A and B are shown apart, each in its own frame.
Chain A
Amino acid sequence: MSYNKPLPKLDPLTTPFWEHARRNILALQTCRACNDAHLPPSPVCPKCLSTDQDWKPASGRGVLEAYAEFHRAYWPGFNDDIPYSSAIVRLEEGPLMATNLVGDTTNARVGKAVEVIFDIVSPELALPKFRLASDD
């Protein structure tokens, strides 16, 4: 069966994020002038307004900021998944990221260390997701 969950909306700003993800790299748009990292990408650096933006790999580490469980499917593609876990992670580089928590989540708690893994959902799409860090 073909993949029927929402696909990334690709545009000149967001395409590099998804191209990196396909190569299993979590990358953040990062300002060459002031080193601020931001997500989603922005036409100028929200901190210093520079247009000189680069993409840099993130550490893939962060802390669990919040989590919740969706019991409603807002897209038909999630009908068979509900209830499914959703999470917000504070990346080490600063930005918040909405994602999914995978693996054993019984010890999930706000503030716990998490690390990225890639869910290869199709040949074209890998989704960066997170699991509780093994050394935490």
Chain B
Amino acid sequence: MSAAELLRNKVSVVGVGNTAYGNFPEIDEYGLAASAFRNALEDSGLDKQQVDGLLVCRIPSYVRMGEVLGLDPRWTMTLPGHGRMAGMAIIEAAMALVTGQAKYVALMYANIGRSRRVNYGGDEIPSFWDPWGFTSPGGAHAMMFQRHMDMYGTTTRQLAEVSVAFRHHACLNPDAVMKKPITIDDHEAARRIVAPLGLLDYCLINDGAVCIILTTNDRAKDCRKAPVQISGIGARDEYRESNIALYTTDFRYAAVSEVGKSAYEMAGVTTSDIDALMCYDNFSPTVLFTLEGLGFCPRGEAGRFVENGTLKLGGRLPTNTDGGHLSNSYMQGWALNIEAVRQLRGECGKRQVADCDIVQYAQATPCTRSIIYTRA
């Protein structure tokens, strides 16, 4: 049996929760995750002891997490704090549920990078290329965007549309870290970090936690809120040419295309059916690359596609309606998945997408994943 047959419309999100996002030096990962778990549990209406599956990401010890929450699960998984694990985690938990290894899985992600001053470059992430001064995820993405500019004529003003749209959404999201509107000119004038990218092309670094509770559809109908089910998934990892961390010569076009095709076919939808896109935005260019790979526009034309507010609420493809990593919170894909659920439930207030029936999550990373959510 294929993954598509096993998982199509079989598993739902029944609880989502998050902490405040910001700078919390007095709280550790366990304190943040416990707070998100309490919120998700309340959201689901479940009793804590019904949770028999535990997945932790960017949390040092699953044992300590279980101890803090008072859980003895039947299924446990731990994933590293890389910005690509959210999609993998949700798919793995769904598999555990459909194979009967657990009945209710709580997935928890916590990040304390802001208060502990995590530095995403230099000696904290040593590589073979340090002697040349090449370092940092932002460096790799600046390289890719310059390549895209040279190959397709994409401009930084087009790139600005991504940051401007997401900041607009953040201004409508009470939880978001960044609340000051920005313009294309602000994006152009921002301090360069690794040119052609500047400050407003980089994700935030902030503390916070997210919890998602999943169960099978037959159990989901007894939970507090309308279940949001997983209708499509796709997966492709790329490690062979990863000698320059995060740099990829084809902007992950082949992987994202394959993953999108798989998710659309499984869900029985096409790009034109997607009411909102939740797109991994570690750096703004990743959004352009993802749009091309998924087929929202022809290859090389994402710059033109996003012009004039395409990604804004009310635009052709509302994207990252919570503000994304650029302006809401650096929850490495996790907050985007809870935003997908909240949009489908109609809980998003001022940032609600009208008539929202189908939401897609996509992460164009060395582990590319997509999940298509619908109401059960």
- With A5-B131, A74-B136 as known contacts, state yes or no: A96 contacts B241, CB within 8 Å: yes
Is A58 an interface position by the 8 A CB rule?
A: no
Chain A window 12-42, contacts with chain B (Cβ cutoff 8 Å), 1 for yes, 0 for no: 0010000000000000000000000011100
Interface-side segment among B14-22, B102-110, B146-154, B180-188: B146-154
Count of chain B residues with a beta carbon within 8 Å of a chain A beta carbon: 35
Inter-chain contact B135/A74, CB cutoff 8 Å = yes
Inter-chain contact B146/A66, CB cutoff 8 Å = yes
Inter-chain contact B194/A81, CB cutoff 8 Å = no
Contacts of A110 in B (CB 8 A): 146-147, 150-151
Chain B window 175-211, contacts with chain A (Cβ cutoff 8 Å), 1 for yes, 0 for no: 0000000000000000111111100000000000000
Inter-chain contact B244/A98, CB cutoff 8 Å = yes
A99–B247 alpha-carbon span in the complex (Å)? 14
Point out the residue from A67, A72, A96, A109 that lies within 8 Å of B244, measured CB to CB.
A96
Inter-chain contact B131/A68, CB cutoff 8 Å = no
Inter-chain contact A81/B133, CB cutoff 8 Å = yes
Count of chain A residues with a beta carbon within 8 Å of a chain B beta carbon: 38
Inter-chain contact A67/B143, CB cutoff 8 Å = yes
CB distance from A96 to the nearest CB of B (A): 6
A4–B244 alpha-carbon span in the complex (Å)? 23
CB distance from A36 to the nearest CB of B (A): 11
A125–B244 alpha-carbon span in the complex (Å)? 21
Is B117 an interface position by the 8 A CB rule?
A: no
Point out the residue from B128, B136, B247 that lies within 8 Å of A66, measured CB to CB.
B247
- With A6-B130, A14-B128, A75-B133 as known contacts, state yes or no: A70 contacts B194, CB within 8 Å: yes
In the A-B complex, list the 5 residue pairs whose CB atoms are closest, starting with the nearest.
A74-B122, A66-B143, A110-B150, A6-B130, A98-B129
User: Which residues of B pack against A, CB within 8 Å?
Assistant: 119, 121-123, 126, 128-136, 139, 142-144, 146-147, 150-151, 191-197, 240-241, 243-244, 247, 249
User: Which residues of A pack against B, CB within 8 Å?
Assistant: 5-9, 14, 38-40, 46, 65-72, 74-75, 78, 81, 83-84, 86, 88, 90, 95-96, 98-100, 109-111, 125, 127, 129
